[in-house]
Amino acid sequence: MLSKNSGVKDMAQPALQGIKVLDFGWALVGSLTGKHLADNGAKVIRVESSTRIDLSRTNRMVKISSGNNPDDKPWYTHLNTSKLGLVLNLKKPQVKSIIKKLIQWADVINENFTPGTLSKLGIDYNFVKTIKPDIIMLSSSAYGQTGPLAYEWGVDGTGLAMSGYLDQTGWPDRTPVGANAPFGDVVLPYINAMAIIAALDYKRRTGKGQYIDTSIVEVCVHSNTPNLLDYQANNHFRKRNGNRIDYASPHGAFPCKGEDRWCTIAVFNENEWQAFCHVIGNPAWTKDPKFTDMKSRKQNEDELENLISQWTSQYTDYEVMYKMQTAGVPAGVVQTMADIVDGDPQLREREFLLPIKNPELGVFGHPTPAYKLTKTKAKVRHAPSMGEHNEYICINILGLSDEEFAELVGQNVFE
Amino acid sequence: MDMFENLLSGYRALDLTDEKGFFCGKILATLGIEVIKVEPPGGDPARSIPPFLNGEPDINNSLYWLSFNTDKHSITLNLEFKRGRALFRKLVAKCDFLIESFKPGYLDSIGLGYIVLTKINPRIILTSITPFGQKGPYSGFKGSELVVSAMSGIMSTNGDSDRSPLREGPDTIYFESGAAAALGTVMAHYVREKTGEGQQVDVSMQEVAVKRTSSNLLVWEFDKCLIKRAGTIRTIGARSTHWIWECKDGYIFWSFMGGKPGSQGNRAMSKWIDDDGMENPLRVITNWEEFDMAAQDVSKDLLDAQQEAIRQFFLRHTKKEITEEGFKRGLNACAINDPSDILENPQLKARDYWANINSLKTDNPLKYPKYFFLSNQTKNFVKSAAPVVGEYNDVIYRNELKLSAKEITKLESSGVI
């Protein structure tokens, strides 16, 4: 249970208050890395350009999004909460003076352009450290900054394919499949933000900054380590096997009342098996030696799953879940997005989506950090519109005069 | 100032997690934190998770356990016993982090809840990784990779439409929750070094997984439209296309996408189909940058014909041809790797990605992924094998807590350690 911190004063500030981040991050990995820092109180200046517009600002997955307004894309908003927005055409020479000021201001730089892009623009790590030797700079990409594939294009699916995720996901008799949800693109930002904060602590202790290089593919491969070892040590290739795993049975999604409704059940040990049998009323088949221990259940799993499906089909998915969970059997409804957004009381308790007013889109749920720091709580604000903070950043943060700012406006650098 | 080899050298964590939380401690260990797994006498039950070395079930043979507990130390300690809890309190006084994945309320029930821990060590950071989080109506529910995948909505988008929804192959949610917990832990550490005060980090695996489905949530929230499982088809906007294909000797990831993001790959595909002398319905498109799959004038028949040609094309070629030749041609296709492909991958080799780790009972070292990130200043690497049960007992109980040989024997015989 979460403890009430009686006698311990609440630390009102979010965890990363005072940290300054120059953020060239875009698409998913870069945007989410900056979001972790910004939601937790770091001042994050997101630099972007309409001349090379972010994928999430053109995405029209929902009807409200138009073809030409970069600020009416809720997905962009989800990925970029709590940041300040600066629009800059990095290819214009006049921009260099602003970039230098931003580097001097920043503790951290985050970027995930295709490797080599910042070198072409003249603002790679070698340049940055001449201005700020103790900067912490992080680059992420599909394959990493070095090696024969460094400059290759890659997306989330690249990580799924390269790491073995897809090899392991699906039915044994069918083509592999994958979820309609990113994996490496979401895991890597956790690693990125963690490395940045650990590097800040290292700098506190040693005075030194550093350059960090991360790859979607390399992070994803970690999740497949047991199969890599199994192949090396035992010369064994594990085959993808639907919902079944080698150390639990039953272990699957079972049909329930209603259209396309399912509940998962996972039985890992004898206690859970006994509880499971009790819940379904101890029918005679549960005493059949074909099912009485894990090994026999694994051998007769097709038949076992059919028998269980006959029972689950009489109930709704939530009924099955509550019956099982009440008896101590792990079980969970295969929830749809509707169940999650409109129903799930647990996620609501955690404020997993915080209703925030967006100037273009109205009030809708914005994702909060899933890791809750109980004293230094995250503070999530809406994402910036294109160039929302150009003037504030140039004048109030970088100290430009009104005239200098007006001159830059005249040179069309804010595009 | 002394230099450290890793980012967080010099700190200590006690790791009480089961398989749901292994990754957090594994990641923290690569940062140089001394991570001590506290196992019940006889070993962590998760040591029975297959596969096993040589196929032989044994407490030190679980390749699953070995995978996710690298660089940790192991002590045995029975927290169900009063004497065990007394020893644990002594360890809490000397550590910086505690990571656990017990059912919420368990630590309170044995007198080791957060408040008690802070009285022993106000600097302590308690990171809790649980299926649904520390409070709320489902907090007492049992969960696992499968159950949480279902409850997070991820599963509803995975699988073939004519069969049940599917879990993902690797334990993606355990992995991702461990990474989220490691971030929260390091963040709390950063605060603690400024304020002197620790806190609890509450990680819900369900919430971590839900955060991956952000775009699907939006499609429901705004348009009341449900994204559902669709096999090898990826649902994007108005038109959906295949992203996984069978080839001559395996499978390929290649997204058939419109607009600028897909243009280079589409052009390369069309050229290669031509070079193969096949019928080519992609050829009618001349400006791939402007090819908008959602546009009214792009017929479903055309998209279907194009995808059929692409399907035929992939079936003619091997994984090796498609990756090697494909990279030269700018196809952006990627083989769906099996373990052998991964271990032989030239990019990973060139990056020195593999750590050779000598595990117990193997004649040759096994290759493990070596790092989560690279740094020019510090080496945050996987360096040593997961521990055998209780290998650190001597260091902790004899050297550090100064227990006598007689006391240790007594603790062993009474089942405390």
In this predicted model, what pLDDT tens digit does every residue of B191-210 receive, in sequence order? 999 999 999 999 999 999 99
Question: What are B233-270's pLDDT values in tens digits?
Answer: 987 656 788 999 999 999 999 999 888 888 999 999 99
Peptide bond before residue B51 is cis, with ω within 30 degrees of 0: yes
What B304-308 contacts at long range (C-beta under 8 Å, 24+ apart), as own/partner pairs, is B305/B281, B306/B256, B306/B281, B306/B282, B307/B241, B307/B242, B307/B256, B308/B281
pLDDT at position A180 is: 94
- Residue A137 to residues A124, A125, B342, Cα–Cα distance (Å): 9, 7, 29
Q: Is the pLDDT of residue B88 over 70?
A: yes
Are B89 and B206 in the same domain? yes
Mean pLDDT of A50-69: 90
A166-225 pLDDT tens trace? 999 999 999 999 999 999 999 999 999 999 999 999 999 999 999 999 999 999 999 999
Closest chain A residue to the Cα of B377, Cα to Cα: A210
Q: Which pLDDT value is given to residue B82?
A: 95
State yes or no: pLDDT of B359 exceeds 90. no
Nearest CA in chain A to B329: A152
> Which pLDDT value is given to residue B237?
58
Nearest CA in chain B to A54: B261
Cα radius of gyration rounded to whole Å, chain A: 26
Q: Which of A139, A190, A298, A360 would best serve as a mutation to test chain B binding (most B beta carbons within 10 A)? A: A190
Q: Decide if A243 and B164 are in contact by the 8 Å CB cutoff.
A: yes
**Dihedral angle, C-alpha A92, A95, A96, A99, nearest 10 °:** -140
Q: Over range A277-289, report the average pLDDT.
A: 97
Tens of pLDDT, residue by residue over A366-412, are: 999 999 999 999 999 999 999 999 999 999 999 999 999 999 999 99
Whether B49 and B94 share a structural domain: yes
What are the residue boundaries of the structural domains of chain A, listed by start?
Answer: 20-222+352-410, 251-336
Instruction: Look at chain B and report how many structural domains it folds into.
Output: 2
- Asked whether residue B53 falls in the same domain as residue B198, the answer is yes
Q: Say which residues have a Cβ less than 8 Å from residue A209's Cβ, sequence separation at least 6.
A: A129, A132, A133, A134, A135, A136, A137, A199, A203, B377
Confidence of residue B322 (pLDDT cuts 50, 70, 90): very high
**Residue for token pair 């890597």:** A188
- B168 and B316 part of one domain: no
Residues B322 and B361 in one domain: no
Whether residue B201 and residue A225 make contact (CB cut-off 8 A), yes or no, is no
Q: Specify the CATH number for the domain of residue B177.
A: 3.40.50.10540
Which of B201, B351, B358 best tests the A interface by mutation, with the highest count of A CBs <10 A? B351
Residue A11 has pLDDT above 70, yes or no: no
Would you call A337 and B251 a contact, using CB atoms and an 8 Å cutoff? no
The superfamily CATH assigns to domain A20-222+352-410 is Crotonobetainyl-coa:carnitine coa-transferase; domain 1 (3.40.50.10540)
Within this chain, do residues B334 and B364 fall inside the same structural domain, yes or no?
no
Q: Decide if B203 and A242 are in contact by the 8 Å CB cutoff.
A: no
User: What confidence tier does B108 reach under pLDDT thresholds 50, 70, 90?
Assistant: very high
pLDDT band at B360 (very low <50, low <70, confident <90, very high): low
Tell me the backbone φ, ψ of residue B256, rounded to 5 degrees.
Answer: -90, 100
| Residue B168 to residue A165, Cβ atoms within 8 A | yes
Candidate from B147, B158, B294 with C-beta closest to A330: B147
Same domain as B123, residue B74? yes
Which residues on B lie below 8 Å from A237 (Cβ)? 338-340
Residue B369 is classified by DSSP as E
Three-state SS string across B190-217, please? Answer: HHHHHHCCCCEEEEEHHHHHHHHHHHHH
Instruction: Give me the residues paired with residue B334 across strands.
Output: B253
**Does B176 reach chain A within 8 Å, measured CB to CB?**
yes
The domain that contains B302 carries what CATH number?
3.30.1540
Rg of chain B over all Cα atoms, to the nearest angstrom: 26
- Do B151 and B48 share a structural domain? yes
Out of A146-150, B91-95, B259-263, pick the least confident: B259-263
Residue B220 lies in a domain: no
Q: Given CB atoms, is B240 within the 8 Å cutoff of chain A?
A: no
Are B151 and B199 part of one and the same domain? yes
Pull the structure tokens for residue A216.
């979607």
Domain assignment present for B93: yes
| B244 contacts A177? CB cut-off 8 A | yes
Nearest CA in chain B to A175: B246
B residues 385..404 contacting A (CB < 8 A): none
Average pLDDT value over all residues in chain B: 94
Mind listing the pLDDT tens digit for each residue in B55-71? Answer: 899 999 999 999 999 99
User: Could you give the CA distance from residue A28 to residue A186 in angstroms, rounded to a whole number?
Assistant: 7
The pLDDT score that the predictor gives to residue B238 is: 60
Which residues contact residue A114 at a Cβ distance below 8 angstroms, ignoring those fewer than 6 apart? A141, A151, A153
Tell if the CB–CB gap between B231 and A175 is shorter than 8 Å.
yes
> How far apart (Å, rounded) are the C-alpha atoms in residues B88 and B75?
11
Q: Kindly state the DSSP code that residue B269 receives in the 8-state scheme.
A: H
Q: Which residue spans within B113-243 are E strands per DSSP?
A: 125-130, 200-204, 233-236, 239-242
Percent pLDDT > 90 in chain A is: 93
Which positions ≥6 away from A109 have C-beta within 8 Å?
A21, A22, A23, A24, A103, A128, A135, A136, A137, A138
Residues A347, B236: C-beta atoms closer than 8 Å:
no
Average pLDDT for chain A: 95
Q: What tokens were used for B310?
A: 């692409």
Confidence class for position A24, pLDDT limits 50, 70, 90: very high
Residue of B nearest to A213 (CA): B374
B72-76 vs B34-39, strand pairing mode = parallel
Answer yes or no: are the C-beta atoms of B137 and A349 closer than 8 Å: yes
- Give all strands (DSSP E) within B219-340, no chain letters: 233-236, 239-242, 244-247, 250-253, 334-335
Is B8 a residue whose pLDDT tops 90?
A: yes
Beta bridge partners of B366: B357
CB contact under 8 A, A202 and B340: no
State whether B105 and B154 are in the same domain. Answer: yes
Query: DSSP assignment, residue B296?
Result: T
Do residues B22 and B138 both lie within one domain? yes
Q: Is the predicted pLDDT of residue A134 greater than 50, yes or no?
A: yes
- SS3 for B83? helix
Predicted pLDDT at A360 = 93
The rounded distance, in Å, linking the Cα atoms of A292 and A298 is 10
pLDDT score recorded for residue A2:
44
Do the beta carbons of residue A158 and residue B252 sit within 8 Å?
A: no
Residue B299 in domain: yes
Position B345 scores a pLDDT of 96
In whole angstroms, what is the distance from residue B334 CA to residue B326 CA?
A: 9
Residue B298's Cβ-count burial label (10 Å; 0-12, 13-18, 19+) is: middle
Distance (Å, rounded) from C-alpha B210 to C-alpha A275? 29
pLDDT at res. B61? 92
Instruction: List all residues of chain B from 85 to 104 with a beta carbon under 8 Å from chain A.
Output: 104
What confidence score (pLDDT) does residue A4 get?
44
Among the four given CATH numbers 3.40.50.620, 3.30.1540.10, 1.10.260.40, 3.40.630.10, the one describing domain A251-336: 3.30.1540.10
- Residue A6 pLDDT > 50, yes or no? no
Instruction: Give Cα A6 to chain centroid, integer Å.
Output: 33
d(CA A32, CA A383): 12
User: Measured in whole angstroms, how far is the alpha carbon of residue A103 from the centre of its chain?
Assistant: 27
- Torsion angle of alpha carbons A58, A60, A63, A68, nearest 10°? 30
Q: Is residue B392 part of a domain?
A: yes
Q: Can you tell me the distance from the alpha carbon of A14 to that of A91, in angstroms, rounded to the nearest whole number? A: 35
Beta-sheet pairing, A353-358 with A362-367? antiparallel
Task: Write out chain A residues lying below 8 Å of B51, CB-based.
Answer: 226-227, 229-230, 234, 236, 238, 246
pLDDT in tens, B15-50: 999 999 999 999 999 999 999 999 999 999 999 999
**Interface size between A and B, measured as CB pairs under 8 A:** 516
Q: Quick one: average pLDDT of B347-358?
A: 96
Same domain? For B56 and B100 the reply is yes
At which of B280, B304, B339 does a domain end? Answer: B339
**Residue holding tokens 């990784």?**
B129
* Percent of chain B residues topping a pLDDT of 70: 98
Query: What three-state secondary structure class fits B246?
Result: strand
More confident residue, A208 or A10: A208
Asked whether the predicted pLDDT for residue B2 surpasses 70, the reply is: no
Instruction: Say how far apart CA A316 and CA B62 lie, in whole Å.
Output: 38
The label of the residue with tokens 């309609």 reads A180
Can you give the residue range of the structural domain that contains B279?
Answer: 243-339
